[in-house]
Amino acid sequence: MSVGAMSRRTFNKWAGAVAGTTALVGAAGWESRHAATPAAADGLASADRTVWNACIVNCGSRCPLRVQVKSVDGEDRVVRLLPDNTGDDELMTRNIKACVRGRNMRERLYSPDRIKYPMKRKEGTKRGDGEWEQISWDEAATLFAEKLKGVYEKYGPEAVHRMYGSGTWNSHINYKVMWRLLNAAGGQLMYYGNYSFSQLHTANKYHYGEYGESPSNSFEDSIENSKLLVLWGNNPQETRMSGGGALFTSLAASRKEGLKIIVIDPIHSDTAALLADEWIALRPGSDAALVAGIVHVLLENDLHDQKFLDKYCVGFDEKHMPDGVPKNLSYRSYIEGKGADGVEKTPEWAAEITGVPADTIRELALELGNTSPVNITQGWGLQRQANGEANCRAVYTLAAVLGQIGIPGGGNGGRDGYFWPLSESLPDLADDNTTEAQISCFGWLDAIQFGSTMTETQDGIRGVEKLSTDLKFLVAMGSNVLQSQHADVQQVREILKDESKLEFLVYIDNQFTRSAEMADLVLPDCTQFERWDLVPSEYTGDMTYLLMCEPAVEPLYESMSGYDMCALIADKLGIKDKYTEGRSLQEWTEHLYELSRESIPDLPSFEEFRKQGVHRYYSPDGLTVSMKDFRKDPKANKLETPSGLIEIFSKDLYEMDKTWTFRNKRKGDRIAALPEFIDTWEGPLEASAGGKYPIQLIGHHFKGRTHSTYANLPHSKALHPQVLWINSSDAAERGIKHGDMVEVFNDRGRVHIPARVTPRIRPGVASLPQGAWFNFEEKKGIDTGGAVNTLSSLHPAPLAKGGAQHTSLAQIKKVED
């Protein structure tokens, strides 16, 4: 049986692989002074009060939680978490049910890993030694302020950076507090993009005209209007597990009579198992080649929408190219072998690269070409590659070739669409920032090493042509990026140990992660159960909502809300009035709520909202149909591209390719004007050729964690242990059986982890689910935590300068006793 394509029914019969989610109702794990007190059998009688709160980590949704509190020995304790009870099972009024992760938030609240009090690195020790001295909040705020002022005076604001992190994501207040402080204090080096979709974030600018993402039609629209839904590397059943978000709507789409679902993914994900009628397993990084093979078949059979391409696009064929560009640089010329490489992009050509049989590519192309409307929605894994910019633009281009953009049931090739929340967040005082310089979110480590030499055309610096200084003061807030989410974490560790480079590192969180080990000052943020906040939904389709976040208990130990600690530091800097504007955290919450009432219809009073907990609202324009105004009138609704049209060939990128250079250039480092397949370092062609490291190693998102959040919780780890996914044939070749301890290794590191031998991943590919906490045994030189970024490369993607952590080759062997 071919791994290239098989039906849901056939695969489930063959592999027995349908995997559901497990409900988990709270957990214990407290220290002695917070010993668990059993709740009453019904979970209600034991509670003294119930308040609304939320799970706010960056899963792409957000879920309400009813937090039940009981006084035990005079101290309030959270004894139980209950889900949303304000909706029903209908599509547009659905209950927003928290998943296994959010329902385990009690274990996180009372975790032994809580950061309990401010700490500074012990005098005479080196960064990373793990020796700490407890200090007071007054001393901590003074130390922060003095170090910050010293860096401002010596180096200026470009030496100060609040790095990317998603542990406080999607809170209207807590996520913005440090940006607000640093902007008010004197400014900071900002970042663009994010670790989730850096390559797409930048490539989108040159295709559809704006930085960020251009979402496709919503799943709700597909339910109403589509005939075919293609989930291209899109796994909502695990990455967006909220019952109010894409898990619910994608599952509803699978139940729609007459709507076929195809999943294209190297892994037979839970989305493939539960939703798909067909699974097509391609090699990571080969997406643009698969699109090219499909388009070749469409052209061969006259199944492309030439009228759409002529009216709405630039660069598809030679008749619609920008002025001043040589001949045979159009996308059609590339497909037909008239371009620079002279290779016709037949299904056979694509099959050699993708590992998908040529006949399967033809069948897929004919089905796409003969079906309408079709919504192709891409996830973000395919752009998290060394050639990720071209991969995501290729899927965009396929939607245009099919003419599906701007119509009900169709789509533009982006991720599933949504109505973005209208609620207000804490102003970050961006206008007070004294520098316009920006680095890629992935570029902070480069800024530490050689920031003063970083330029626009070599390192993707924005806002200025060149940075004036190296990075000297770094704040990581709600961010386990330092030792989990960034690439090549061992190399990161060594660079951070050099105190002649980065002079001061502050870590702020509520869990003592591996990243905290690398700090000079550690500050204990409280959890959302201990503070006021407003929580908007995110990526939840055509139903959006606002959630109440009211403190259930007082901050544990000496933890403090991010807002209050920043106000304390602001006082030491002499800018407290500017920072707080005279408001407490609760007063800011109420103020932002009142501002939100101006734009959100029927939002009740603040006191009523505290009782209600959840407010749903909807777009007045109905279901999300991406780019419908552009489709209706492209002249009146021009895109923000130079032509005002969809740019399949980007002249801007064509010109940039002539002038950009690359730090430590590797194979595939170039700026591609077309969404073409690019043979890169450690890409699919190198893997298929065999050699020292023949396995393509990726790190897929899975239900046990949201990035690295929840990775330390015993119940989460017990239900969803960290294991290496390896195909049965690759395992047999190496004498590996299910459950064996294996070593995954390359020149960057070694990991010891149990093997999950399964047909649910294509041969030649292995996956260590991303987000596991790095646990380095220095004497052995081995990570036993299963962190995929022990093995990934620091080398960034060429245009976006984002992380390319899915471009990584490795070898696997059984660990002998």
Residue with token string 């559809």: 208
Residue with token string 């990570």: 783
* Distance separating alpha carbons of residues 630 and 628, to the nearest angstrom: 5
441 with 524, same domain?
yes
- Helix (H) / strand (E) element for 233: namely none
Give the angle subtended at the CA of 429 by the CAs of 423 and 432, to the nearest 5°. Answer: 155
265 with 309, same domain?
yes
- Helix (H) / strand (E) element for 73: namely none
Least confident piece of the model among 9-13, 92-96, 435-439:
9-13
Query: Residue 676 falls within a domain, yes or no?
Result: no
Q: What is the pLDDT of residue 439?
A: 98
Q: Band of the pLDDT at 241, cuts 50, 70, 90? A: confident
Counting the structural domains of the chain, the total is 4
Task: Give helix then strand counts, H and E, for the chain.
Answer: 27, 29
**Does residue 32 have a pLDDT over 60?**
no
Strands annotated E in 582-729: 614-617, 646-647, 695-698, 724-727
Domain holding 780: CATH number? 2.40.40.20
CA 739, 741, 743, 744 dihedral sign is: positive
**Does residue 18 have a pLDDT over 90?**
no
Of 62, 89, 109, which one is at a domain's C-terminal end? 109
Query: Residue 371 falls within a domain, yes or no?
Result: yes
Label each residue of 192-220 as H, E or C: ECCCCCHHHHHHHHHHCCCCCCCCCCCHH
The β-bridge partners of 507 are: 476, 522
Q: Is there a contact between 63 and 84 (Cβ–Cβ < 8 Å)?
A: yes
Strands annotated E in 411-552: 438-440, 473-477, 504-509, 521-524, 533-536, 544-549
For residue 754, say if its preceding peptide bond is cis, omega within 30 degrees of 0.
Answer: no
**Does residue 445 have a pLDDT over 60?**
yes
CA dihedral of residues 307, 312, 315, 317 (deg, nearest 10): 10
Q: DSSP letters along 382-393, please? A: TTSSTTHHHHHH
Helix, strand, coil distribution of the chain in percent, nearest 5: 30, 20, 50
* Distance separating alpha carbons of residues 396 and 675, to the nearest angstrom: 9
The β-bridge partners of 280 are: 5, 264
Q: What is the pLDDT of residue 1?
A: 33
Say if strands 504-509 and 521-524 run parallel, antiparallel, or are unpaired.
parallel
Of the candidates 795, 799, 774, 797, the residue with the CA atom closest to the CA atom of residue 784: 774
- For 69-124, the pLDDT digits (tens) are 999 888 999 999 999 999 999 999 999 999 988 999 999 999 999 999 999 999 99
Phi, psi at residue 774, to the nearest 5°? -60, 130
406 with 426, same domain?
no
For residues 210-234, average pLDDT: 97
Q: What is the pLDDT of residue 169?
A: 67
- For 573-616, the pLDDT digits (tens) are 999 999 999 999 999 999 999 999 999 989 999 999 999 999 99
**Does residue 696 have a pLDDT over 70?**
yes
Query: Residue 668 falls within a domain, yes or no?
Result: no
Query: Residue 251 falls within a domain, yes or no?
Result: yes
Q: DSSP letters along 634-663, please? A: TTTT--SSTTSSEESS-HHHHHHHHH---T
**Does residue 784 have a pLDDT over 70?**
yes
- Using DSSP's 3-state secondary structure scheme, residue 274 falls into helix
Longest distance between any two alpha carbons in the chain, whole Å: 81
The β-bridge partners of 477 are: 508
Q: Of all residues in the chain, what percent carry a pLDDT higher than 90?
A: 89
Domain holding 541: CATH number? 3.40.50.740
Q: Band of the pLDDT at 20, cuts 50, 70, 90? A: very low
Q: Band of the pLDDT at 13, cuts 50, 70, 90? A: very low
639 with 608, same domain?
no
- pTM passes above 0.85: yes
Q: What is the pLDDT of residue 45?
A: 55
Q: What is the pLDDT of residue 61?
A: 84
Of 587, 617, 647, which one is at a domain's C-terminal end? 617
* Distance separating alpha carbons of residues 278 and 287, to the nearest angstrom: 17
Q: Band of the pLDDT at 642, cuts 50, 70, 90? A: very high
237 with 362, same domain?
yes
185 with 227, same domain?
no
172 with 241, same domain?
no
Phi, psi at residue 442, to the nearest 5°? -85, -5
Mean of per-residue pLDDT scores for the chain: 93
Phi, psi at residue 77, to the nearest 5°? -135, 145
Q: What is the pLDDT of residue 7?
A: 44
212 with 136, same domain?
no
Q: Band of the pLDDT at 57, cuts 50, 70, 90? A: confident
Query: Residue 65 falls within a domain, yes or no?
Result: yes
Query: Residue 669 falls within a domain, yes or no?
Result: no
For residues 542-559, average pLDDT: 97
* Distance separating alpha carbons of residues 692 and 696, to the nearest angstrom: 12
- For 355-414, the pLDDT digits (tens) are 999 999 999 999 999 999 999 999 999 999 999 999 999 999 999 999 999 999 999 999
595 CB-near residues (< 8 Å, 6+ apart): 424
578 with 690, same domain?
no
434 with 580, same domain?
yes
- The two structure tokens encoding residue 148: 């910050």
Query: Residue 664 falls within a domain, yes or no?
Result: no
Q: Band of the pLDDT at 5, cuts 50, 70, 90? A: very low
For residues 441-464, average pLDDT: 98
414 with 481, same domain?
no
Of the candidates 484, 557, 447, 576, the residue with the CA atom closest to the CA atom of residue 161: 447
The β-bridge partners of 756 are: 725
* Distance separating alpha carbons of residues 451 and 614, to the nearest angstrom: 45
Q: Band of the pLDDT at 301, cuts 50, 70, 90? A: very high
Query: Residue 159 falls within a domain, yes or no?
Result: yes
Q: Is there a contact between 395 and 37 (Cβ–Cβ < 8 Å)?
A: no
215 with 362, same domain?
yes
**Does residue 34 have a pLDDT over 50?**
no
> What residue numbers bound the domain in which 747 lies?
684-814
Q: What is the DSSP letter of 158?
A: G
The amino acid present at 517, given as its one-letter code, is E
- Cβ neighbour number for residue 458 with a 10 Å cutoff: 16
